[in-house]
Amino acid sequence: MGRFTYPRYDDRCGWNALLPKRMPRPSAQGEHRVKYAIIGGGYTGLAAARRLHTLDPNAEIAVLEATEIGEGSSARNSGFASQHDLKLDLSGAQLVHADTLNACLREGFGALTDAMEQGGFTCEMQHTGRITAAATPLGVEKVEGIVSRAKTLGVVHRFLDRAAIRKATGMDYYQCGIAIDEGHLLQPAALIRGLADTLPKAIALYENSPVVRFEAGPPSIVATAQARFLADHVIFATNAAIKNFGYWRDRLVTIFTFAGLTEALDSQDAAHLGDPAWGVLPSHRLGTTLRRAGKNRLLVRSLYAYEKPLDLQHVHNALTSCFHRRYPMLKHRRLEHVWSGTTALTMNGAPRWGKVVEGVYGAAGCNGSGIVKGTLLGQRLANLIVTGQPQTDVENVYGQANWVAPEPFRSIGFHAISAVERRKAGLEM
């Protein structure tokens, strides 16, 4: 038994603020007996629900979302989605691994596009590719390594010098970069709202229904403030928040990240943003992510915090500095929306997923790539539950998160490593 808590955001998600007002589904009320209860209405939870319905169409399925769809963590990312991963060694074994990994990513991405086609909704998805840019000598080395891996894997790419990056993005800030042909940009709040609003009618979605009590069964008891569910199978699709309920505390770290959207720019100022659609990832993991958002806005994502958010005014000032250093000609422009979001990191970059205890399953630790990977893991959890068959390809390609030191060593280590990495990142931030 335990008390379940989840990230509470005092700020509104900027992506969601750009969309028309949406009426949330009613909160959970009364007593329910279901076969499957899914805690969390993000990419993992909704993918699991859809797949369970496909495999077990007559089953009762309930999805409990703690907040309003579009205001949770799933809408608070930068909107990058990829079917390729280049973080690989060049040995023959790793090349086989790359094929399996990319097949898994294509499966997750395909599930998203299938849902969009079947549901008849869009999320401003564009095939733009992605740029990894370098502002420091260490960053240049990183870019050169990505170029080498791209050549070996046969990935379509272009090396960009300073002039090419300036032409593409309007920024004269980066020394060089690599443009990968594969990659999409999308509006994450529009995507998660579309996925939720086009669920099969047999799937019951309850919003503003945080779980306050859980007892593992079977059947398990999942209780909100005004409802109680008896479930044969429960999926925790809550990312790092599963720690708050006593599971996987020694595997996951909660990280807050922060983003801002500029005010709408007039045509004269928007002309400084380069090509109509592009996204830039930093060469250092603590660096700043940027992308053009629609026709006349820029998104800036930077800063990291351990387990709790930073002061919002500090965040606003820091993100504004990131924006103005890259676009000094736009110093008269401000950030209209600034918000926080959480992700779950693991020590070895692998997720933690699968069976937790009898009748209870979970997936967490997408390490910042939850749109596609979270969708894949949600689908595969459903496969595991219904068929009982091991998901060997996913297990082999991702592995499982390894052990993380307990407190206070965990926070001490995080802050020490972060300080070192911030110095390395330098102008990438």
Task: Tell me what the mean pLDDT of segment 276-292 comes to.
Answer: 95
Task: Tell me what the mean pLDDT of segment 331-357 comes to.
Answer: 94
Distance CA(176)–CA(166), nearest Å, equals: 10
Enumerate domains of the chain plus CATH numbers: 1-126+182-250+347-398 (3.50.50.60)
**Which of 130, 98, 13, 74 minimizes the C-alpha distance to 344?**
74
The letter for the amino acid at 61 is I
**Which of 232, 223, 255 minimizes the C-alpha distance to 4?**
223
- Per-residue pLDDT tens digits for 167-176: 999 999 999 9
Task: Tell me what the mean pLDDT of segment 228-232 comes to.
Answer: 98
Tokens linked to 424: 């390395």
Distance CA(290)–CA(298), nearest Å, equals: 7
- Per-residue pLDDT tens digits for 144-194: 998 988 888 778 899 999 999 999 999 999 999 999 988 999 999 999 999
- Per-residue pLDDT tens digits for 26-61: 999 999 999 999 999 999 999 999 999 999 999 999
- Per-residue pLDDT tens digits for 94-114: 566 778 888 999 999 999 999
Tokens linked to 155: 């990935």
